[in-house]
Structure 1
Amino acid sequence: MASSIALTLNGVARQVALDDLRVTLLDLLRERLALPGTKKGCDRGQCGACTVLVDGRRVNACLTLAVTLDGVEVTTIEGLSDGETLHPVQAAFIENDAFQCGYCTPGQIMSAVGLIAEGRAGDDAERIREGMSGNLCRCAAYHGITLAVQDATRRMAGAEAEDAA
């Protein structure tokens, strides 16, 4: 049975034909829409490598059926930067050495963006670790990840304060 969905993907309105209603958002992104930044880790929702934002909320793309996304906004790692200008979370990850092999990094960054947007990051390292606990790093770069989230939270709060002034 075929269907189609209309969604906004990284700021661009898209109409996507689905020839299989069982296709996950992860497989749609990687295999059909040529967005390989979202990684397939466990394919069971346990590692967070496939984290993307759907209407601003963090979701595991491997557990989300694409057919359920009609009318939503999806943001992937490819949609964060503004041309050559990195998103503050991306810049903070680089500057705080928040990765080693890099495989989990897109999911970690997307989860951090969601956590900050939810207002749940703050500056408390323990709170950040708890909020990011659905994203695993086999290289154990957790200290750098926590520092990057703290740094990005401060940067983004500072940018908001400047915009308000």
Structure 2
Amino acid sequence: MTKVTLTVNGKTVSGEAEGRTLLSSFLREGLGLTGTHIGCDTSQCGACVVHVDGRAVKSCTTFVQDVSGAEVRTIEGMANSDGSLSVLQQAFQDHHGLQCGFCTPGMVMSSAALLAENPSPTEAEVRHYLEGNICRCTGYHNIVKAVLAASGQDVSSVAAE
């Protein structure tokens, strides 16, 4: 066991972890941050995406020891300081970018990383960026619409299903 220290959602946390402990497990089991979902354990579905030092990372294939000392942001850290939904989260709600909600934390985290890199992406750029995230419910149209709306763009021409 090794001591691991991270800054998670703005708070410094420490804990003991085995070398094989995944960041997703540390967040969920060690810190009780269950918003980070585990869908595949193979880095295929994107439900586990968190930000590590500002970069989108699939936490189900990242060892927590490898990111010790890093700043980690989870879906729990995406809301505004008053607890209200962020612009992106509100756009997902307003544009029905979620159904069952299982993929939503990873979609929001990936979308936030995209918007940090490219504040005004095209529809094609959003679709390309989210290729590493699987949604079995929505057909992606409303997710794309939500991301574009969060970027301040007109979404009236984006097809919805």
TM-score by length of 1: 0.88
Alignment partner, residue 158 of structure 1:
none
SS at match of 1:145: helix
Structure 1 residue identity aligned to 2:12 = A
Give the corresponding residue for 2:89. 90
**Corresponding residue for residue 45 of structure 1:** 43
Match of 2:151, SS? helix
Q: Is the Cα–Cα contact under 8 Å of residues 98 and 141 in structure 1 kept in the other structure?
A: no
TM-superposed deviation, 1:87: 1.1
3-state DSSP of counterpart to 2:126: helix
Distance 1:123 1:45 in 2: 24
Q: Does 1:24 align with 2:39?
A: no
Equivalent residue for 2:70, pick from 67, 72, 77: 72
Counterpart AA for 1:89: L
Q: Paired residue for 1:107?
A: 106
Instruction: Report how far residue 5 of structure 1 moved.
Output: 1.7
Secondary structure of 2:6 counterpart: strand
| Deviations, residues 60-84 of structure 1 (Å, cap 9, x unaligned) | 0001000011111000000111232
Name the CA distance, whole Å, in 2 between partners of 1:34 and 1:123: 34
Structure 1 runs (4+) greater than 6 angstroms displaced: none
Q: Tell me, what secondary structure is at the counterpart of 2:152? A: helix
Aligned to 1:163: none
Q: Distance in 2 between matches of 1:77 and 1:110?
A: 7
| Paired residue type of 1:135 | N
In structure 2, runs of 5+ residues without a counterpart are 154-161
Q: Structure 1: which 5+ runs fail to align?
A: 156-165
How far has the Cα of 1:16 moved from its partner?
1.9
* Cα pair 2:121 2:148 within 8 Å, conserved: yes
Q: Secondary structure at the match of 2:45?
A: coil
Within the candidate set 30, 33, 44, 2:31 is matched to 33
The answer to which structure has the higher helix fraction is: 1
Normalized against structure 2, the TM-score is what?
Answer: 0.90
Q: Over aligned residue pairs, what C-alpha RMSD do you find?
A: 1.3
Cα deviation, residue 6, structure 1: 1.6
**Alpha-carbon distance, 1:123 to partner:** 3.9
